[in-house]
Amino acid sequence: MDFTVLPDHPEAENLIKGNSAFAGARSIPHHSGRPWLVGRWGDRDVSLVAEGPHRIAVFGHLPKNTRGLARALERATSPYDLDALARSVPGSVHLIASLDGDVRAQGSLSTARHIFTARTRGVSVAASSPALLAALTGAGADESALALQLLDPLPPWPLTQRSVWTGVEALTPGHWLHLRTDGGGRQIRWWHPPPDGLPLADAAAAVRAALTEAVALRTGRPGRVSADLSGGLDSTCLCFIAEAQTDELSTYHVAPLDEANEDTLWARRAADRLPRARHHWIPKSREANWFDVETDPARALDTGEGPALWASGAAHLTDLSRAAAEDGSSLHMMGLGGDELFGSTPSYLWSLARRHPLRSLPVIQRHRLLNRWPLAATVRALADRGDFPQALMASARRLTAPPPRPPHLDLGWTGGSRMPPWATPTAVALVRELYREAAEAGTAPLDPDRLRHQLLEFTGYDGRLIRQTRRATAASGVEWDAPMLDDRVVEAAMSVRLSDRMVRGRFKPLLTAAMRGTVPADILDRRSKGEFSAELHEGVRRNRDRFLDLCTDLRLAERGLVNADALRTAFLAPSPESHHLSQFENTVACEAWLRSPSATPHPVGEPR
C-alpha cells in the first residue's frame, strides 16, 4: 500500500497528467474533482467517509464502524478541527482529510505509518513513502544522509528524520501536514506527551485496554493471523491476547543458536497454554541467517526509504513471511516496541533523581553496585544539567572516539553513536556538520525529560523498522505489524508515574501488571532475557567471503564515504566482542541499497 497526497491546486493535477507512473493507479478526488489521493491499495486498506465538500480517508486497521469518522466530519469546518478525532482513533493509521480542498495528512505517533513531504513545481505534496516523492521530484541521493546511515548504532534525534533523498522531508512525530489550496504546506503540532502521574494499577488498566483493542483490530480481519512467539515477554503477551480473540492464530518460534539462551524453553511453556493456536518451530539449522544481505539487484528488497534498518535480518524476515503465507496468514504480529515502552534506560536514574531525590538514592546505589560504576562518575552523571543542543555538540566531538568500555555510565540525552573505523574523513565531516547544524538550530528534545525523550526516540526507531519491513515483505501477501506501537498503547505506557516504571525484583512491571490474568503468572515472572550475540558471530562467519567480494567494487568507496581497504581488514579480523560486529550492519545495508534499483527511484507503476 502506497499513496501520494495532492493539494487541491491546478498544478498538482499536472504532476500526474500523462505521467505513466500513475497509469492504473487508484484515485480519490477532492470535492473539486481534482485528484487528492493517488496510489495503490486494497479495498480493506482504506476507510473513506465523504460529506459534501468534506472527506476523510483512514489507511490502516480500523473498527468496521466508521460512525465516529462521520460525526467528526460533520462537526469540522477546517483541518484544525480534527485534533480530537486524531486523539481517539485506535490502531496505527494514516489519517488524511480534505475539507473544502484544505488537506490534513498525518501518520502515527511511533511513525509506524508516516508522512513525507516535498515541493515540486511550486506546490507541496505528501506521500506514505519518501521514494514516491523522490520519483515525483527527480531527487537524487543526499550524500550527508548516506554518511549518517553509517553511524553505529543509529543517528540521534532529529537526524533520524533525515531522508536519503534531497528535498524530501519526514513529518515530525506528533505533527500533521497542512496542504493549502495555494500550494503551500506546513507542519502543525497537534500532540504532546501525556503526563506520567498514574499509579501502576491505573496505568496497567489503561495498557491492558489499549493492547487488547490493538490486537483485536488485527484479529478482527477475515482469515488467519500469525505472530512471533520468541519466548520473550512482549511477543508472548500478544500471543495470549490474540488466542483469546481468534481460533485462527499461528505462532512462529526461531530457535536461538546459543544453548544458554532460554527463549525456546519459555516459548514451549507458552505454547502449551495456547491450545487453540497452530505452533511452528523453526530450527537453528535453518538456511536463513543474520548478515545474509541480498546484494543482487534483481532480488533486492525495497524499503521505500533507503538502507534497511534490519538488513542483517532480511533473510530471516523474508523466510518467515513465506512460511506464514503458505500457512494462510495475511498479517503477522511482532512484539516490537515492548522494550522501549515498558523497559527502561540508564537515563531513568537521572530523571528519578530530579523528581524524587531522596527516594532515588537506594535505587541509584543498587544500580551503581550492580554495574560497578565509580562513585565519582555516578555523581557527575547525575549532576549533569546539559541541554539537548549541548548533548548533540558533545556527541559530534566523540564521533571517532573509541567506543567506551564497561563499566561505562551514560545518563545523557543521546547515547553516543560512533562512526565506524572505515568511515573516511569526508564521511565523518559530513555527519559532524549535521550534528552541528541541529545543535545550532536549538533543536528541542521530544520531551523535556531525558527518559521520556529516549522512550519516544527509540519508539520512533521501531516505527521506522516496522514500516520498512511491511513494505519490503509486501510481495509475500503477509502484512507485518506491531500492535505495541499503536498510538493509544504508546500514550498508556507513558502515563505511568516515574517511580513505578521500575520496581525492584520485577521485569517490565507495567506490562506484567497489565497482563495479570491474561498471561500465566509463571511466564510473567520470568526475569531473564535472551541474548543473540551468537547469531551475529555466525552471520559474519558465514558471509565473510561475500563481504570481501563487495570490497573489490565498493559503491560507498566510489562516493568517498568508506575506505575499502580498512573495511576489508575489519572483515578479515572481526572483533571477538559482539557489540563491535554491529558496526558492519549499517555499512552493509548502505552498500546493498546503493547496488539496488531502489537507489534510483522510479515512479510507482513504472517498469524497472
CA dist list (Å): 420 to 162, 165, 403, 561: 20, 23, 10, 11
Please list the ranges in the chain whose pLDDT falls under 70: 18-21, 287-289, 294-299, 578-579, 601-608
Q: What is the pLDDT of residue 19?
A: 67
> What is the end-to-end Cα distance of the chain in Å, rounded?
18
Domains of the chain: 2-139+168-189 (3.60.20.10)
Q: How many residues does the chain have?
A: 608
pLDDT for the residue numbered 606 = 42
What pLDDT was estimated at residue 597? 84
User: Which neighbouring-strand residues pair with 249?
Assistant: 225
DSSP 152: B
- Contact at 8 Å (CB) between 171 and 187? yes
Q: Assign residue 545 a region (left: φ > 0; alpha: ψ between -120 and 50; beta: otherwise).
A: alpha
The whole-model pTM stands at: 0.94
Q: What pLDDT is recorded for position 13?
A: 83
The one-character DSSP state at 484 is: G
Which residue type sits at 233?
L
pLDDT of residue 345: 84
pLDDT of 604 reads 43
Give pLDDT tens digits for 501-518: 998 888 999 999 999 999
Inter-axis angle of helices 200-219 and 233-243, to 10 degrees? 60
Question: pLDDT value at position 94?
Answer: 97
pLDDT in tens, 142-184: 999 999 999 999 999 999 999 999 999 999 999 999 999 999 9
Within 13 A of 3's CA, how many CA atoms are on the CB side? 29
Question: If you write DSSP's letter for every residue of 539-561 in order, what string do you get?
Answer: HHHHHHHHHHHHHTT-HHHHTTS
Residue 1 · residue 39 · CB < 8 Å: yes
Rg of the chain over Cα atoms, rounded to whole angstroms, equals 24
